[in-house]
Structure 1
Amino acid sequence: MPKGEGKVISQNRKANHDYFIEETYETGIVLKGTEIKSIRAGRVNLKDGFAKIDQGEVFLHNMHISPYEQGNIHNHDPLRTRKLLLHRKEINKLIGLTKEQGYTLVPLKLYLKNGFVKVLLGLGKGKKKYDKREDLKQKAAKREIDRAFRERQKGF
């Protein structure tokens, strides 16, 4: 199964707007009891999330998982830091890239694969304001071309 396939639970659409994504990594995530139930219910937000490498391990910060309604005292902090599971070679490569070349680790997708929750982590470089404007112009032009093409097809 290719990277990013499975039942998509949440996507970070803002990441592609704010970053040039150069590589992606499929990672596992360490969760506690009621968090998985809340994720399966789709109550998760990746928008402000980011990953950091600390002492040779990768951690996901600011990913919001809403408390599970039937969880009572077993619920956890919605914004707690969660550990991501990667191979040692991948972590070493990411350490080099994030330290020297100004890359950022951004969660792109959260999905289920074979019953496990996976995070698609993107290695991105921040876009400048003019890059974002250029992307918006290209999207608008493509939308306009598609609209004209559809109208032309209706005429035939």
Structure 2
Amino acid sequence: MKSVKVLIVDDSELDRYILRRQLKVLGVDKVEEKDDGSTALDYLRDYERNIRLYPDKYPPIVIFLDINMPKVNGFDFLKEFAILRTQLAILSCVVVMYSSSERREDKERALKYEFVQRYLVKGELNEGVLDETIQALG
């Protein structure tokens, strides 16, 4: 498995834990977690500091992003991230939506962003799907 730097953005501690465990089984151990879109954007904006402090985890290559979160939800994050990724020259960073929403409108809205590569529904996620996703993106 390639060395993949991952950022999980989800307000559910349980969902972050489950995803982190699944990633670890697949050999992905360079994982950072944020509990809402606001702290994730702050983390990404602090490029110079984080590249020094977390060289093995920063910048992320794949961001797993929930939709329904307080403060800054997934769609608000995508809007800000579209600008931020260009400003910081982290164009290789992609987003995988990781949501409990099965709504077609949510999926279509998310996939309109060129950097959103996948839309995974939490209840349907298994290690095979996750492995395929990481292999394709990492």
Mark yes or no: TM-score above 0.5: no
Q: TM-score, normalised by structure 2?
A: 0.26
Q: Return the structure number with greater helix share.
A: 2
Look at both structures and tell me which one has the larger radius of gyration over its CA atoms.
1
Structure number with the bigger relative contact order (C-alpha 8 A, sep ≥ 6) is 1
